[in-house]
Amino acid sequence: MSDIIQLLPDHVANQIAAGEVVQRPASVVKELLENSIDAGALEIKLILKEAGKTLVQVIDDGKGMSVTDARLSFERHATSKIRSAEDLFKLNTKGFRGEALASIAAIAHVELKTKQENDELGTCIVIEGSEVKSQNVVVTPKGTSVSVKNLFFNIPARRNFLKSNTVELRHVTDEFHRVALAHPNIAFSMFHNGGEQFSLPATNYRQRVVNIFGTKTNEKLVPVEEATEVLTVSGFVGKPEFSKKTKSEQFFFVNNRFVKSPYLNHAINAAFEGLLKDGYHPTYFLNLTVDPQTIDINIHPTKTEIKFDDEHTLYAILRSSVKHSLGQFNIAPVLDFDSDANLDTPYNYKNKSGKTPTITVDSSFNPFASSGAAPQKQNYNRQLKTQAHWESLYVGLESKSNDALNNFDEVTFESEAKTESIFKSSEVSPEKTTYQLRQKYIVSTIKSGMLIIDQNRAHQRILYENLLKQLTSKEATTQQLLFPLNISFSTSDIAIIKQLQSDLEFAGFQFSDVKDESVIITGVPVGVPESEVTIVLEQLISDVENDVPDQNFSASDLLAKSMAKSLSIKTGQSLNADEQEHILNSLFACKEPSVSPTNKTTFITLGVDDIEKKFM
């Protein structure tokens, strides 16, 4: 029998490694930006075409590479940060020109131009699918420029799995934000299809957050500072009143590297306990500094997940730090049992000086004086005059009341006004056919047994079909607002709203202006409360970010699903009999009553036979 195990060729091995490192254009952006940071760059420029599918170019002014380093950077297992296995547990860099470039070069056309400061000429290397096409001497400025063209050109199956340009650009923007937030001392710029998306100068951390997420963010931030032997925490958390229904503004950086940690996220939620409404999430931009030997960042290929040696201590320190900041800046409510609210100075008298009360005494008054005394006589006359004044109010009432008692025909009695209902009810009240169970399910009887409806999913289906009909027919009714709504969003969120603006207008929204960081709304769809407009738009942005439709998918369908999710009756909401009947009848008038817009079951039936089996 012949041998069946064989070594893979280098180009195949590189393509397999690329599958772990490079999943989409955003993965290439992350690797190249981190390489530029490790090269000591002070200014980094990112250039994209077709959301990175056609071109991803990163230009930096770092220290550059020599001819030998430039060539070795595309070899597998080549790195500048590891000399022994122990170095894996004390990493301070992100990875300088090693391993990632080999994976990228295996599935794209790569052109590298680099020059060190003391060299007169630089090096240009062109690689296509792990094969070096050329290596020449070129004139180039100090630093490095890496161009990655035609991603997945030799793996069509992987390229077919890429989403639309809008979706891929969103992922690239997220990676750009993460790297830029971690390094505010470096200037970043980003261009897409020739247009400038971001221009971030080197500045402090607070200003970097404001430059990315808009000027309105500045008033939302609460600083957090805490230094211990185990952990140093710095950064900002958002005020509770500015919390969002999405998790788009939650950033953890451990030793200047973005990480995802549900455990530490729980610590932040614990610090905000009692301050957030249900379904809302806190905003935070926190930098954690720990000993590199106490963490392991190599448990995931993208290094976004991390493992700590002592998670319980970090949890307690982080939660206490955030709670301390919220209390220090009077964000969290404080109970003071020592002060008495009755002793507090009223607001109207805060800046007024106290006045000494004046007392007037009638020195001539003598209670034992004779009745003929002049002062007493004046007081007595004053009393008689006052008594005559109030007694005059009842003049004539006695005679009228006596006449009324003698003539019973004129006696009238006051009673409450009797108002009849607009809809006259029948003498026999109709039998109740629906019941609400645990404020979540609507139970009704049918011929074959029992019907149980999930009120939230059913209402989503009803709203979804109505909204989709309005969007496709473009006949939505708009309700004009008395005062326009001015809602602030980040730059990336505004880009999504601009993309969906025409569909939103077909749904019934009216925009008077869409600025760089805010939108002004003058009309909303009928049935959408003014207080729910912000929630609807935030939910829509979140759905575009996460569920993100493909290019063959309808934007109207996504909008209808998102609005139905925001406006539907929630679990826990009490419904009267008429509302229950309305949902029941409207659901079975839908085209697809059995499933919600997200393909979840809306109702189940229990036949009489199924019920009888329970009693056997």
Res 613 pLDDT > 80 = yes
Res 87 pLDDT > 70 = no
Quick one: average pLDDT of 530-557? Answer: 70
> pLDDT digit string (tens) for 155-204?
888 888 888 887 888 889 989 999 999 999 999 999 999 888 889 999 99
- 594 against 548, higher pLDDT: 594
Quick one: average pLDDT of 331-340? Answer: 58
Helix residue ranges per DSSP H, 274-373: 311-328
Name the residue among 100, 98, 126 with its Cα closest to residue 111. Answer: 126
Name the residue among 161, 145, 194, 135 with its Cα closest to residue 22. Answer: 161
Instruction: State the Cα–Cα distance between residues 305 and 260, nearest whole angstrom.
Output: 5
Task: State the pLDDT confidence band at 19, using cuts at 50, 70 and 90.
Answer: low
* 186, 246: one domain: no
Residues 6 or more apart from 57 whose CB is under 8 A from it? 46, 47, 48, 145, 146, 147, 148
Res 553 pLDDT > 60 = no
Residues 6 or more apart from 381 whose CB is under 8 A from it? none
Does residue 358 fall inside a structural domain?
A: no
Task: State the pLDDT confidence band at 616, using cuts at 50, 70 and 90.
Answer: confident
Count of domains for the chain? 3
Token readout for 575 is 């419904």
Provide DSSP, 75-112: STT--SS-SSGGGGGS--SS-SS-SHHHHHHTSSEEEE
Token readout for 457 is 């999913």
Instruction: State the Cα–Cα distance between residues 230 and 313, nearest whole angstrom.
Output: 8
Does residue 522 fall inside a structural domain?
A: yes
**Residue burial 388-404, b: 16+ Cβ < 10 Å; e: rest:** eeeeeeeeeeeeeeeee
Q: Identify the pLDDT of residue 96.
A: 42
Residue 377, Cβ neighbours under 10 Å: how many?
Answer: 13
Token readout for 453 is 């409806």
Quick one: average pLDDT of 27-49? Answer: 92
Instruction: State the Cα–Cα distance between residues 223 and 238, nearest whole angstrom.
Output: 9
Does residue 16 fall inside a structural domain?
A: yes
Q: For the domain that residue 64 is a member of, what is the CATH number? A: 3.30.565.10
Domain finish residue from 300, 328, 356 = 328
* 452, 587: one domain: yes
* 60, 194: one domain: yes
Give residue 217's Cα distance to chain centre.
Answer: 13
β-bridge mates for residue 115, sequence order: 143
**What is the sign, positive or negative, of the torsion defined by CA atoms of 60, 62, 68, 73?**
negative
Under 8 Å between Cβ of 80 and 61:
no
Domain finish residue from 328, 356, 380 = 328
Does residue 427 fall inside a structural domain?
A: no
> pLDDT digit string (tens) for 244-285?
877 888 999 998 889 888 888 999 999 998 888 877 889 999
Provide DSSP, 589-612: TSSSTTB-TTS-B-EEEEEHHHHH
* 152, 231: one domain: no
- 55 against 277, higher pLDDT: 55
Q: Identify the pLDDT of residue 424.
A: 52
Domain finish residue from 143, 173, 200 = 200
Q: Burial-class residue 349 by CB neighbours within 10 Å (0-12, 13-18, 19+).
A: exposed
Q: Identify the pLDDT of residue 110.
A: 94
* 61, 160: one domain: yes
Res 484 pLDDT > 70 = yes
Q: Identify the pLDDT of residue 95.
A: 52
Residue 155 structural domain: 10-200
Res 448 pLDDT > 60 = yes
Under 8 Å between Cβ of 539 and 570:
no
* 496, 555: one domain: yes
Task: State the pLDDT confidence band at 43, using cuts at 50, 70 and 90.
Answer: very high
Q: For the domain that residue 495 is a member of, what is the CATH number? A: 3.30.1370.100
Does residue 612 fall inside a structural domain?
A: no
* 180, 248: one domain: no
> pLDDT digit string (tens) for 586-604?
998 998 889 998 888 999 9
Res 469 pLDDT > 90 = no
* 487, 552: one domain: yes
* N-to-C CA span, the chain: 63
* 164, 307: one domain: no
Instruction: State the Cα–Cα distance between residues 196 and 55, nearest whole angstrom.
Output: 15
Q: Identify the pLDDT of residue 28.
A: 92
- Sequence-distant contacts of 266-271: CB under 8 A, at least 24 apart: 266/315, 267/314, 267/315, 267/316, 267/318, 267/319, 267/322, 268/237, 268/318, 268/319, 268/322, 270/319, 271/318, 271/319, 271/320, 271/322, 271/323, 271/326
Name the residue among 154, 143, 160, 210 with its Cα closest to residue 181. Answer: 210
Instruction: State the Cα–Cα distance between residues 25 and 44, nearest whole angstrom.
Output: 17
Which range (3-17, 73-87, 136-150, 303-317) has the least confidence?
A: 73-87
> pLDDT digit string (tens) for 74-85?
886 655 555 555
* 112, 15: one domain: yes
Provide the percentage of residues in the chain whose pLDDT is more than 90: 25
* 109, 168: one domain: yes
Does residue 538 fall inside a structural domain?
A: yes
* 148, 226: one domain: no
Does residue 567 fall inside a structural domain?
A: yes
- N residues, the chain: 616
Helix residue ranges per DSSP H, 9-146: 10-21, 25-38, 67-72, 100-105
> pLDDT digit string (tens) for 486-538?
888 887 788 888 888 887 888 788 888 888 788 898 888 877 788 888 888 88
Does residue 355 fall inside a structural domain?
A: no
Token readout for 233 is 């925490």
The mean predicted confidence, pLDDT, of the chain is 80
Q: For the domain that residue 317 is a member of, what is the CATH number? A: 3.30.230.10
